Structure 1
Amino acid sequence: MNAVLYILVVAIWGTTWIAIYMQQGVVSVPVSIFWRFAVAAAVMLVVLLALGRLRRLSLRDHLFCLLQGACVFGFNFYCFYHAAAYISSGLESVIFSMAVLFNAFNSMLFFRQRPHANLLPAAALGIAGVVALFWHDLIATQLAPALLLGIALSALGTFGFSLGNMISTRHQRRGLETLSTNTWAMCYGTAIMGVIALIRGDSFMPELSVRYLGSLFYLAIFGSVIAFGAYFTLVGRIGASQAAYSTLLFPLVALSLSTLYEGYVWHSNAVIGLAMILAGNLVMFSRPGMFNIWRKRTA
């Protein structure tokens, strides 16, 4: 079951970066985020109410859902959508892979949780592989100011996502159902973006084009309802640090699509990066301590 959830998250979220890029245009960022999660929250509410699965929460739990909505379904995407104007969707997905480190750090900070025995070597391989994948692009941009701003926004959004992971962990430790807390958090995130749009004086009219509405539907149903449900379920089953390792595979999906539709050329550094990321996955999901055992045997 964990493998199915893991693959589902990688397959969907690895493609949502392109959909976010397709949202760029005449519609403001808060309004695009508002409609994305308004649709997702409405679908979740209808389904859970029909199945009798929407659980009551205490006022304290609602406050944490409000905070989760701000972190995961609001301000983090506010950063990601703005970053898409400065850097490529592939590079955004690379920076988002830092979630594995943020989650490990925040798990120790908030829950005094020791990292998985294989996390550090796996993360080192994975992140080094991601850097190798995009080394050619990083050199080509020569660290322009726009690139630095895009990187900063993406890193800030990733940290917000990690904080939301910690709140989800808190929910599940209290025995709260993931679908219910996600739904309430989406509602609050939608409301927050709606208020921001109203304060800015933005129009709530979406762009009536196949490109915009198609990407909106994909982001709302697949990227939000399905993927977030699968991801936070995975957080509850294997922990935030291990679940976040899936983010290291997102750039591979983005690159595969770019190869098919944008003519991406695989340089030698990209092949090396791919090998390192796959090796990191093998280390991460091997038996705890296997890496240390292998190191002792070869010493």
Structure 2
Amino acid sequence: MSAFIYVLMIGLWGFSWIAIKWQGGSVATEVSIFYRFALAALLMFIFGKVFNQLQQTKLSQHKFFALQGLCLFCCNFLAFYSATHYIASGLTAVVMATAPIFNALHGRLFFKTPTTANFWLGVIVGLSGIGLLFGADLMATDWSMDVLLGLVYALMGTWCFSIGNMISIRNTRDNIKPYTATSYGMVYGCLALLLIIYLRGLPFTIDLSTQYLGSLVYLAIPATVMGFTLYLILVDRIGANSASYVLLITPIVALVVSSVFESYHWTVYSSIGLSLVIAGNLMARRIKPLWRMKPRALAKAV
């Protein structure tokens, strides 16, 4: 079952990045994200009531739902949507592939989860891959500020996503099912977005184009209602570090889609960089030190 969820999520989230790109335009970013999660939250509560998936909760648990919602359904997407204004959507997905590294660091910080020498080797290799991916773009654009801003926004979004994972683990340890935590988290995320929209004085406009409405529906239902519930189920079953490895294949799908719809050009640098990101994350996941493995086992590991 976990393998099936992995494959399904790779498709759901692989195509979601270009849909995020298509949300840019006349509608403010904050408003587009609010539409997405308001629709998703409504559907989550309807399905939860019909199929009896929503647990009864205590008032004291809602502060953690609110924190999870702020991280997973507000701040991280404000950063990701902003990143796609400056860089290709596929590159944003590649940066998010560093989530296992953030999860390992945060797991050690919050839950005392140990790290290995392989982890630090993987971090070095993975960050080298990110450097190659963005280094080529920076050199091609004479160190464009747009590319740097896109990278910073994408890293901020990944950090928020990882913190949301940690809060999800905490909620699970409090016997809260992923569906319940996700549903309430979306509501609190929407409330945070409403506050931001109000403070910034943004209008509630809507783009009636097929591209905007189609991408909005895709992001709200397959990418959010299905995607986040399935992802948090994986976090519950196999832990945040292992679950976040679904993000290793997602960038490949996202970059292929980006090359079709955004004219993203694959280069030697980008190909090597993506390979290093994936290899670095796989190395970081190994428990047995690589230098103690036999050559044949080492080849399978990386």
Corresponding residue pairs, total: 297
Aligned match of 1:84: 84
TM-score (normalizing by structure 1): 0.88
**Distance in 2 (alpha carbons) for counterparts of 1:33 and 1:20:** 9
Between the two proteins, what is the percent identity of the paired residues?
40
SS in 2 for 1:74: helix
Q: Counterparts of 2:151 and 2:269 in 1: how far apart (Å)? A: 21
Unaligned segments of structure 2, at least 5 residues: none
Q: Counterparts of 2:133 and 2:58 in 1: how far apart (Å)?
A: 46
Matched letter for residue 35 of structure 2: W
Cα deviation, 1:171-198, whole Å, max 9, x if unaligned, reads 1122211001100001110121122212
**Cα RMSD after superposing both structures:** 2.6
Does the residue aligned with 2:15 lie in a helix, a strand or coil?
helix
Q: 1:123 touches 1:245 (CA, 8 Å); kept in 2?
A: no
Shift of 1:8: 2.4
Q: What displacement does 1:93 show?
A: 1.6
Consecutive unaligned residues of structure 1, counting only runs of 5 or more, are none
AA aligned to 2:145 is: P
Secondary structure of residue in 2 paired with 1:155:
helix
Runs of 4+ displaced beyond 6 Å: none
Structure 1 residues 135-284: aligned runs within 5 Å:
135-273=135-273, 275-276=275-276, 279=279
Structure 1 range deviating more: 134-143 or 38-47: 134-143
Give secondary structure in 2 for the equivalent of 1:206.
Answer: coil
Distance of 1:268 and 1:147 partners within structure 2: 19
Q: Taking structure 1 as reference, are residues 253 and 66 closer, same or farther at Cα in structure 2, changes over 3 Å only?
A: same
Task: Give the CA deviation at 1:283.
Answer: 5.2
- Is residue 115–residue 241 contact of structure 1 (8 Å, CA) maintained in 2? no
In structure 2, what is the Cα distance between the partners aligned to 1:175 and 1:118? Answer: 32
- Give, in whole Å, the separation in 2 of the partners of 1:275 and 1:80: 22
1:99 is the counterpart of 2:99: yes
- Structure 1 residues 207 and 7 mapped into 2: Cα distance closer, same or farther (>3 Å)? same
Shift of 1:116: 6.9
| Distance of aligned partners of 1:154 and 1:260 in 2 relative to their CA distance in 1, 3 Å threshold | closer
How far has the Cα of 1:134 moved from its partner? 5.2
TM-score, normalized by length of structure 2?
Answer: 0.87
Structure 1 residue 133 displacement after superposition: 4.9
1:51 matched residue in structure 2: 51
Corresponding position of 2:293 = 294
Structure 1 residue 232, shift from structure 2 partner: 1.1
